[in-house]
């Protein structure tokens, strides 16, 4: 249960003189009384501030008493609480209400607080070249009574090893979801990994700091490296013992791991496209993964970077497909990364291939001219591991390579500095997908409606069908401002008396009537996108 508690403050009776050095309940209630007024309170924050009163009469209390004495015309105003000052304090009615305090749960940090503890650490082992997501250190973060936003985690490379053994450092959730992008170590041997995410009140998350190893480690074999957690970056108060040390892995260049290459999938558009709002189930981009002959491979997750100008509100039903099976995506807080995790892993036998592609719907409003482009920002954003040794596998491109992303608007491509051989420095993005531009609204055709049959028009019969037409409206809703109809006739015709009460009817799902008499020009102020 919780509720406000009334405590004696301004309603308290002061019977004892107080001065610097005094301690006890009288001092705490004196501070509470002084804090009731902005011009006499002890402090805005910290000890002595409202809600954080103490039982010690110090310099801050003396200064506040002097302000109180000056305000109430008490002389001399020297900060000593004597009979005259006590008499004035005792005439002030009211009580101080202490706000409700949440119940304290043993072991749970209180308020905007975060506890950092070491988890079970990986065993010391090998860090082979070209291995991805080699686990080094695990930590558990526990939020207190309030949700906590964690901005990032700072890690430090330790041990007798060079920074060059790592191509990047990543932060992983327990389900394998990567938080943020891979970061490189700086000149201080540190990297700040992750992006802002929320840990809900009273819950814990276990995270792993992992290393993506360089493609060639022959010059570093035998070195031993570790990645320690040295800081958790958040505005909440952090408790726990830092740094947290994990495994110390030995750098290895001789272990032969499984391999995987990627090329364009047949599901990839591989050219610039213009698509209208309302298009559903469109294949935005895709790659074909082919495994090597060393070991079977499991696909665990993929992370697409939507680098176009469209927002996440312009897209819907975005799913990743592997082998024709749809998997839900999780969108990052900035709306730019769409990730799918495959909890049990998808087995790709050695020497086999599998298509991985992303598709969805174009929705939203006012999105004309915006672009959609689903890249793979890093070659480690497609995470696979071998089933024999268990190490992560970094994919390489086998074709459609270019040194820059200059032609991405006309074709999808993999970015490598040595274009012809798809080798050299891997670019960011690693896979630059084709650009899809959202089209503006347009009317591309008006034709006879086959559903409206020709017939005779009887005299003095209301509601007769005169004709029908079909429009092809694409891109986005449009406003029809004017329709002009020409009536083809034979025989004698007058503009009055032959046809009256002519109406426009939209069909077939809903009926709207727009009436006009004696003229065949009408103004329509409704948005239309279907057949008339």
- Each residue of 389-417: pLDDT tens digit? 899 999 999 888 887 655 555 678 888 77
With a cut of 90, say whether residue 447 has pLDDT above it.
Answer: no
User: Would the pLDDT of 109 be above 60?
Assistant: no
Model pLDDT, residue 422: 77
Do the Cβ atoms of 17 and 24 come closer than 8 Å? no
Of 123, 99, 113, the C-alpha closest to 7 is 99
In this prediction, residues 215-219 reach a mean pLDDT of 93
Q: Strand 134-143 to strand 113-118: parallel, antiparallel, or no bridges (unpaired)?
A: antiparallel
Q: How far is CA 6 from CA 10, 88, 94, 263, in A?
A: 11, 21, 10, 71
Locate CATH 2.60.40 in the chain.
113-252, 261-438
Which whole number is the average pLDDT over 370-385?
A: 93
Locate the DSSP E strands across 363-512.
371-372, 374-375, 382-386, 392-393, 396-397, 401-402, 413-418, 423-432, 436-438, 442-448, 469-474, 478-480, 483-484, 502-505
pLDDT at site 12: 73
Work out the mean pLDDT of the chain and round it to a whole number: 82
Closest among 359, 370, 365, 358 to 438, alpha carbons compared: 370
Tokens read off for 53:
């009163």
Instruction: Supply the DSSP symbol for 393.
Output: E
Residue-level pLDDT at 43: 83
Q: Any residues with CB less than 8 A from the CB of 510 and at least 6 apart, and which?
A: none
Give CATH 1.10.101.10 domain extents, the chain.
5-98
Of 36 and 226, the one with more pLDDT: 226
Residue scoring higher pLDDT (38 or 218): 218
Structure tokens at 95: 């009580």
pLDDT at 2: 36
Please give the C-alpha separations between residue 13 and each of 26, 46, 91, in angstroms, as whole numbers. Answer: 9, 26, 9
CA distances from 255 to 127, 210, 250 (A): 9, 19, 12
Q: Residues 485, 520: contact at Cβ < 8 Å?
A: yes
Task: For residues 66 and 79, give the distance between their C-alpha atoms in angstroms, rounded to a whole number.
Answer: 5
Q: Which residues pair with 260 in a beta bridge?
A: 291
pLDDT mean over 129-148: 94
- For domain 113-252, which architecture applies? Sandwich (2.60)
Q: What is the chain's Cα-based Rg?
A: 36
pLDDT higher for 88 or 137?
A: 137
Q: Report the range of poorest mean pLDDT among 72-76, 267-271, 413-417, 462-466.
A: 462-466
* pLDDT band (50, 70, 90) for residue 58: confident
Give backbone dihedrals phi and psi of 114, rounded to 5 degrees, phi first.
-140, 130
pLDDT the model gives residue 405 = 59
CATH value of 5-98 in 1.10.101.10, 3.40.50.10470, 2.40.360.20, 1.10.580.10: 1.10.101.10
Residue 489 has pLDDT above 50, yes or no: yes
Strands (E), 419-462: 423-432, 436-438, 442-448
Two tokens, residue 273 = 């496209």
Give me the mean pLDDT over the 355-371 stretch.
88
- 38 by Cβ neighbours in 10 Å (0-12 / 13-18 / 19+) ranks as exposed
Cα 15 from Cα 6, distance rounded (Å): 20
Report the distance separating Cα 117 and Cα 281, nearest Å: 45
The percent of residues in the chain predicted with pLDDT above 70, rounded, is 80
pLDDT value of position 515 = 36
137 pLDDT more than 60? yes
Q: What is the pLDDT at residue 53?
A: 80
Q: pLDDT band at 87, cuts 50/70/90?
A: confident
Confidence of residue 107 (pLDDT cuts 50, 70, 90): low
Closest CA to 287 of 230, 348, 229, 343: 348
The whole-number pLDDT of residue 527 equals 37
pLDDT of residue 529 exceeding 50, the answer is no
Please tell me the distance from the alpha carbon of residue 79 to that of residue 64, in angstroms, as a whole number: 8
Helix (H, G, I), strand (E, B) or coil at 248: coil
Predicted pLDDT at 371: 92
How much is the average pLDDT of 313-340? 93
- Model pLDDT, residue 230: 94
Quote the tokens at residue 30. 């004196």
Whether domain 261-438 has CATH 2.60.40: the reply is yes
Distance CA(512)–CA(483), nearest Å, equals 15
Question: What is the pLDDT averaged over residues 431-442?
Answer: 84
Q: Please give the DSSP secondary-structure letter assigned to residue 252.
A: E
């Amino acid at each position: 249960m919780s509720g406000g508690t009334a405590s004696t403050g301004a309603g308290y009776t002061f019977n004892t003189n107080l001065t610097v050095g005094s301690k006890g309940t009288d001092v705490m209630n004196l501070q509470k009384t002084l804090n009731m007024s902005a011009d006499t309170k002890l402090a805005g924050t910290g000890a002595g501030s409202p809600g954080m009163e103490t039982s010690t009469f110090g310099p801050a209390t003396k200064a506040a008493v002097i302000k109180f004495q000056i305000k109430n015309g008490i002389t001399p105003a020297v900060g000593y609480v004597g009979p005259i000052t006590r008499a004035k304090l005792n005439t002030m009615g009211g009580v101080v209400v202490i706000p409700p305090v949440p119940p304290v749960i043993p072991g749970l940090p209180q308020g905007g607080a975060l506890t950092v503890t070491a988890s079970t650490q990986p065993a010391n082992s090998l860090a082979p070249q070209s291995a991805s997501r080699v686990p080094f250190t695990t930590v558990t973060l526990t939020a207190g009574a309030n949700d906590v936003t964690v901005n990032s985690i700072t890690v430090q490379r330790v041990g007798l090893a060079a920074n060059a053994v790592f191509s990047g450092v990543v932060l992983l959730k327990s389900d394998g979801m990567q938080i943020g992008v891979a970061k490189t170590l700086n000149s201080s041997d540190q990297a700040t990994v992750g992006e802002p995410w929320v840990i809900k009140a009273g819950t814990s998350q276990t995270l792993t700091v992992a290393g993506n190893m360089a493609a060639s480690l022959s010059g570093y074999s035998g070195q031993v490296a570790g990645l320690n957690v040295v800081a958790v970056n958040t505005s909440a108060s952090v408790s726990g013992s830092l740094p947290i040390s994990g495994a110390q892995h030995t750098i290895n260049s001789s272990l032969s791991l499984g391999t995987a290459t990627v090329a364009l999938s047949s599901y990839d558009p591989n050219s610039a496209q213009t698509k209208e709002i309302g298009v559903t189930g469109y294949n935005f981009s895709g790659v074909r993964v082919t495994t090597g002959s060393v070991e079977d491979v499991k696909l665990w997750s993929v992370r697409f970077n939507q680098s176009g100008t469209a927002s996440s509100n312009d897209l819907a039903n975005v799913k990743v497909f592997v082998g024709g099976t749809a998997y839900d995506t999780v969108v990052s807080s900035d709306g730019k990364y769409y990730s799918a995790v495959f909890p049990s892993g998808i087995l790709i036998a050695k020497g086999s291939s599998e298509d991985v592609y992303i598709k969805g719907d174009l929705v939203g409003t006012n999105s004309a001219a915006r672009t959609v482009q689903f890249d793979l920002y890093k070659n480690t954003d497609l995470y696979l591991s071998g089933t024999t040794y268990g190490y992560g596998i970094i994919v390489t491109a086998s074709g459609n390579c270019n040194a820059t992303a200059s032609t991405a608007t006309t074709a999808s491509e993999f970015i490598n500095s040595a274009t012809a051989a798809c080798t050299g420095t891997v670019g960011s993005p690693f896979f630059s997908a084709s650009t899809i531009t959202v089209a503006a609204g347009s009317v591309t055709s008006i034709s006879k409606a086959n559903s409206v049959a020709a017939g005779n028009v009887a005299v003095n019969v209301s509601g007769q069908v005169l004709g029908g037409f079909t429009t092809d409206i694409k891109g986005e809703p449009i406003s029809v401002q004017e329709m002009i109809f020409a009536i083809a006739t034979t025989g004698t015709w007058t503009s009055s008396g032959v046809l009256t009460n002519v109406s426009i009817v939209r069909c077939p799902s809903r009926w709207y009537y727009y009436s006009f008499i004696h003229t065949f020009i009408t103004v329509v102020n409704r948005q239309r996108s279907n057949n008339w």
